[in-house]
Amino acid sequence: MKDTPEGWKAAEMAASQIELDILSGNFDPTLAKYKSNSKVKSVVDSTPRVPTIQELWKDYVKYRSKVVKKSTLRKQFQPITNYLGKLPYKHVEDHIKIQDRVWNDKTPQGAKRLFTQLSAMCKWAVSRGLISENPFEGKASEIKLSKSTDSDEMDVNSFTVEERGKSIAAFSSSCYYKSLHPMH
């Protein structure tokens, strides 16, 4: 047995089994019954390794690369790859911490895009038996983006009547830009 937590657990279980067998009169003097390749090892080895969120994303992008354009991979998937690579949280089980981090790092639009892709990735991973559930399902739809109207944008970006008048007057009186004024 190896000097690891699993090895120590296996040794303790074997020692307990030997003790019980001695008390019950079923002790195996050859010790074959108590070797490390018994049930204990199979329990330790049967625990499947859960892939990291970065590994899941890499595999998901590989899968999606067969059906999306290269420009989509570059513009939409690469920024997510970069972001996930910098995250200190590595597993889907850390989804609450990941959500909190996304809220701190991203705009509502960016968070919605990221949660949409993470949910799609987890849905794909669940369908392949890589993870048991999709903790990001519905997170993107929880984000309500304010809908800007055309008049709102005009108000933010437009000049006042006075500013507009000064700009037109400056163009019409300039020897360089007079030709740009439509009423010269």
At 119-144, the pLDDT tens digits run 999 999 999 999 999 999 998 888 88
Backbone angles phi, psi at 90, to 5 degrees: -110, -10
Please state, in angstroms and as integers, the Cα–Cα distance from residue 2 to each residue in 120, 122, 123, 144, 169, following that order: 40, 35, 38, 53, 86
Q: Rounded CA gap, 1 and 40, in Å?
A: 11
- pTM of the predicted model over 0.85: no
Cβ distance 102 to 111 under 8 Å?
yes
Buried b (16+ CB within 10 A) or exposed e, 80-107: beebbeebebebbebbeebbebbeeeee
At 45-87, the pLDDT tens digits run 556 678 999 999 999 999 999 998 999 989 999 999 999 999 9
Q: How many CA atoms lie within 13 A of 80 on its CB side?
A: 27
